[in-house]
Amino acid sequence: MQQVKLGIIGGGTVGSGVFEALARNGSLLSSRVGANIKVHRVAVRDLHKKRATAIPKNLLTTDWREVVCDPEVNLVAELIGGTTVAREVVLTSLKLGKPVVTANKALLSAHGEELFAAAKKYGTNLYYEASVAGGIPIIKSLREGFVGNRITALYGIVNGTCNYILTRMKLEGADFGAVLADAQKLGYAETPPDLDIDGHDAAHKTGILASLAHGFWVNPKKVYVEGIRHISALDIKYAGELGYTIKLLGTVKKLEGSCRVQASVYPTLVPNAHVLASVNGVFNAVFVQGDIVGDALFYGRGAGKDATASSVLSDIGDAMLDLKTGIKNRLPAFVPHECAGAVAPISEVVSQYFVRLNVVDKPGVLARIATIFGQSNIGISSVIQPEGHEGESVPLIFMLHYATNGVAAKALAKISKLPTVKGKPVMIRVESFEQ
């Protein structure tokens, strides 16, 4: 059989995980693809660092160029993360005509269009299944399994840290800060945790999914991002009483009668009856609606050594098959096919809303607030004013009918200026999953 010699850039959690997975299942992969795979060189930052999986010293180097430029290496796996050196690694490999496998969502989000163009120019390919949702094969599904579908909507729980925090808050009634501290102790959250809890990691992944689903490259700056810092135990509690679970969702939807697409990440009230409401802990899930297939759910581990390694091996298998057959662009990394596509600003996106206010408990307050909503043409579906609260202010919860985000934000800005409203209003969008 033809032999594929792999060069790995990065020997950290993912890199060593891929090395371990190949040692375990490389022969299985080879027999299924019909070509042999062998790790030829591995570039690492520190030759003496102790790793969970030992890599033979004769394979190691600290110079990634020794790996990429080695004439015997005909496939490169970029597994170092970041967007500077990683970009140089990928571009150099592609210019040499070598296909690249990457797990780097930040790199693709920031430079995907450039990298895909380079792959096309130099007649090779870029594989990136592991960049979104760990071991869940969502990239392959969008590119191959749903190639005959128009994707009408896509919803993703794609950040395990946020899902773990929100799950604990719901099950235990705990506050955000306490659960975040536990998540950091357990290794589920970084220090600092901003990339995860402020929604940026999920936004990288959501932008990639939006690009694949709708055929135009989504500029990451156009993805609306809102994290979970402002979600309190009270919000979790009252959402539950109304029949909802709060999840950080990456949402991709085509606006009705338009070529424009919603691409956003924000906390969302999900009906408890919907399957995404039961995705707990560090698990990820992507819910896809296609015009022909209908509803489809992908569920699994969204991060970690083994889950990511599984997706990297999948891409390595695809690359081996392409090298074996000599068809360098059997399935191009990205095919732009919607020239008129664009991301709609969040102000134009229509949603339902959960709103929590802290108000002075006296007659006439509810009427004033309802008047502002009415003047803004926003309907109120329900109001909850819980009893038993003491102090200067009490919570007041509204469920609002459909309105654009821009109109809802302006209404809340007016409401927040009322002397009887204390603190900043909390607004969380509600998703019905209806098309």
Which tens digits make up the pLDDT trace of 313-347? 999 999 999 999 988 777 788 888 887 789 999 99
Q: What global pTM score does this model have? A: 0.94
Catalytically active residues are 205
> CB of 373 within 8 A of CB of 380?
yes
Domains of the chain: 2-134+305-325 (3.40.50.720), 138-300 (3.30.360.10), 348-430 (3.30.70.260)
Q: What is the mean pLDDT of residues 104-120?
A: 95
Structure tokens at 174: 């705990």
Nearest Cα to 209, choosing from 255, 166, 253?
253
* 44 within 8 A of 11, measured Cβ to Cβ: yes
pLDDT at 435 over 70: no
The dihedral through the CA atoms of 151, 152, 157, 159 has a sign that is positive
**Span of 33-42, 276-285, 301-310 with lowest mean pLDDT:** 301-310
Compute the distance between CA of residue 432 and CA of residue 351 in angstroms, rounded to an integer.
9
Q: What is the pLDDT of residue 332?
A: 81
Instruction: Report the pLDDT value the prediction gives residue 335, as an integer from 0 to 100.
Output: 85
Q: What is the pLDDT of residue 427?
A: 97
Place of tokens 């290496």: 73
Task: Name the residue among 83, 92, 94, 74 with its Cα closest to residue 322.
Answer: 74
- On the CB side of 366, CA atoms within 13 Å amount to 13
pLDDT interval class at 391 (50, 70, 90): low
DSSP 8-state symbol, 98: -
Task: For the chain, give the mean pLDDT.
Answer: 94
> Exposed, middle or buried, 362 (CB in 10 Å: 0-12/13-18/19+)?
exposed
User: Which residue's entry shows tokens 């134009």?
Assistant: 348
> What burial letters (b/e) apply to 122-160, b meaning 16+ CB within 10 Å?
bebbbbbbbbbbbbbbbbbbbbeebeebebebbbbbbbb
The first and second tokens of residue 57, run together, are: 């010293």
